[in-house]
Amino acid sequence: MIFNSIAFFVFIGIFFPLYFALKGRARLFLCLVASYFFYGWWDERFLALVAFSTCVDYFVGLKLDNTEDQPTRKKLLIASMVVNLGFLGFFKYFNFFIKSFQEMLTGFGYDGSMHSLKIILPVGISFYTFQSMSYTIDVYRKEIAVEKDFIRFSTFISFFPQLVAGPIVRASDFLPQFQKDREFSWDRVTAGTGQIIWGFFKKVAVADSLAPFVDQCFQAPETFGSLHLLIGVIFYSFQIYCDFSGYSDIAIGLARIMGFDFPDNFKKPYFSRNYSEFWTRWHISLSSWLRDYLYIPLGGNRGGTFASWFILLVFMILTVFLTGWWWLAVIYLLSSVGTYFYMQKSEYNNKNAYNYMNLMNTMLLGGLWHGASWAFVFWGFLHGSYQVVQRLAGPIWNKALDTIRTPKLFKDILAMGLVYASTCFAWIYFRAPDFDVASQVITGIASLEAFNFGSVINKFWVIKGVMVIGILLLVEILDVRLTLWKVIQTNPAFRVVSFVLLLWAIAFFGSFGANSFIYFQF
């Protein structure tokens, strides 16, 4: 079931009255049943998968709580990881690895024909798997208490507002909120409703209005002029932002009405002035997950481990074999040797180099999390590179701007522009179905052929797109400058006016075709 469908409105129309009418375990049980119904509406066969994942982590959690023997605890953790990542690997990455292996064999001149399986990707598997894994890891680390109530734990894993596309909520944030009944509160209802309306505006008015133009650009880029393609890329940057953050807003708003507080998942990411800031504003629940369960265990900015080298090495070998570009191997080898000697020079260098490696590994795996394709990995590589370059060149850049006494506002706008432009460049690889299409889009834009508005096809979509992006940015700027959402929450009359304005905007610009959310595929 998707939020922007009539079925969902019928669903919550029944769910909310029942939810507030019930108390205690009956309410918890209702949440669980409703969540499974919500997920099963898409495909009931995969309910068993969610249930199995839940059972595994529930029992592993109990076992971890019952033993202090470290080797046993480690084995239990590994068992949970194997099951969770095994499912994820099978459903999401099996065919990808088969295909990659096949291409590698063909590259060596062997017959690479192999059977792949027709595997349906269960919606939201990456989200609930990560949520479930974080619980087990936190119990293993003794950072949270084990949850002994099976119904409560199952509801935590399958909670319908955020089950299929996040935000990924940590057990430490979420499970304690189940401890007591959440009381009905008008303040929560109005705040939650505001966030839901804003989420719907982002999804149906912005993202879905931009989608047809973007789809057309990436289907046949060779047929469009330079400006048309550039608009397509800019539109995609807003489409993906509004599609995903719109979903998060609706999920967080629904949870708020039910009495639960979820952390923000997006904080106006295109206003970021550097790449580190971007990742504290974009898909925050995933970036913080990767930081806590991957980047820091790899050594973070304090140093590194064998794994830091190993992950990078695997990616290097795979890219060389799959592309067949042997010159890449030479570059890799030279840079590895260079890095090794650089690290030997001082402890500071050693720490720095490991930090860059850990950053790159995190971004590469983060890219792969998004989808089983090398394009996603490359997208991760680009973001990893941006962060490394920023750390290397950032001080020089700042010094240069200080020397010419650049005003702060100009400096900020310049930095935002740079971060936004390079993020858009990376989005091309994220959106394009393959590297060839991505290259066509990039060369098409760079050619500057037909760089005039007259050559843009379907100007209607462009005019509408510019209008909805304008409204979005206006609201975000007002929120930054005048804390708009706080004013809305405290002033009832202003709240009414804002809700009505947003609803009119949805009616006037919205696309009511029940288009799916982009992040469902991840």
Partner 1 sequence: MKKLYWVFIVIVLFFAGDRIFGWVLKQLTGKSQFRYTRLYEGKAKADILLVGNSRGLIFYQPYIEEITGSKTMNISYNGMPIDLAEVLVKDYLEKYPAPKQMILDVSMCDRLNKSLISGFNLYTPYSPRMYDLIHLNDQTGAVAGKVFHLYRYNSEIFQRSMFYLNKTDEDWLLDRVINDAMVTGITEYVPDTIKIVQRDTIKPGDKKERLFKSIMSSLTASKNGEVEYVKGVMEHLASTVAFAKAKGVDVQLVINPYYPPYLDKLVNLDQLKAEAEKATGMKVHDYSNAVKDKEGFGDYQHLNKAGSRIFLDKLMEDGVLKK
| Binding status of residue 37 toward partner 1 by CB under 8 A | no
Q: Nearest Cα to 61, choosing from 165, 155, 140?
A: 140
Tokens of 410: 């100009």
In the list 66, 460, 466, 474, the residue contacting partner 1 (rule: CB under 8 A) is 460
Taking CB under 8 A as the criterion, the residue among 101, 276, 514, 520 binding partner 1 is 514
Among 120, 186, 404, 408, binds partner 1 (CB under 8 A): 186
DSSP state letter for 219: H
9 binds partner 1 (CB under 8 A): no
Smallest gap from residue 49 Cβ to partner 1 (A): 19
* Catalytic annotation present for 370: yes
Contacting partner 1 (CB under 8 A), which of 14, 421, 474, 500?
500
Examine residue 167 and say whether the peptide bond preceding it is cis (omega within 30 degrees of 0).
Answer: yes
Contact residue for partner 1 among 510, 517, 518, 519 (CB under 8 A): 510
* Amino acid code (one letter) for 37: F
Report how far apart, in Å, the C-alpha atoms of 22 and of each of 184, 187, 192, 384 are: 11, 20, 20, 48
Q: Of residues 104, 105, 322, 503, which one binds partner 1 by CB under 8 A?
A: 503
Whichever of 72 and 185 has its CB closer to partner 1, that residue is 185
User: How far from each other are the two terminal CA atoms of the chain, in whole angstroms?
Assistant: 16
List 397, 435, 499, 520, residue binding partner 1 (CB under 8 A)? 499
The verdict on 220 binding partner 1 (CB under 8 A) reads no
Which tokens hold the place of 365? 């795996």
Is residue 7 involved in binding partner 1 (CB under 8 A)? yes
Of the candidates 32, 4, 39, 1, the one whose C-alpha atom is nearest the C-alpha of residue 18 is 32
Alpha-carbon dihedral 230, 248, 377, 134, rounded to 10 degrees: 170
Q: Which of the residues 347 through 366 are near partner 1 (CB under 8 A)?
A: none
- In three-state secondary structure terms, 196 is helix
Minimum Å gap between C-beta 460 and partner 1 is: 4
DSSP string of 27-38, one letter each residue: HHHHHHHHHHHH
Shortest distance, CB of residue 506 to partner 1, whole angstroms? 8
CB of 40 to partner 1, least distance (A): 10
Q: Where are the alpha helices (DSSP H) in 204-305?
A: 208-219, 226-258, 275-278, 284-290, 296-298
- Is residue 166 a contact partner of residue 265, using CB atoms and an 8 Å limit? yes
Binds partner 1 by CB under 8 A, chosen from 86, 263, 395, 513 = 513
Tokens found for residue 52:
């199995």
- Decide: 47 and 36 in contact? Cβ < 8 Å: yes
Q: What angle do CA 306, 312, 317 make, to 5 degrees?
A: 120
Q: Residue 194 Cβ, how far from partner 1 at the closest point, in Å?
A: 11
CB of 129 to partner 1, least distance (A): 24
Only segment of 256-264, 408-416, 433-441, 456-464 that touches partner 1 (CB under 8 A)? 456-464
Q: How far is the CB of 200 from partner 1 (least distance, A)?
A: 13
Q: Is 41 in the site for partner 1 (CB under 8 A)?
A: yes
Q: What is the contact mask toward partner 1 in residues 466 to 495, using x (rule: CB under 8 A)? A: --------------------------x--x
Token pair for 479: 């929120």
Question: 286 is written with which tokens?
Answer: 């995933």
- Residues in contact with partner 1 by CB under 8 A are 6-7, 41, 186, 190, 212, 458, 460-461, 463-464, 492, 495-496, 499-500, 503-504, 507-514
Residues recognised as catalytic:
370
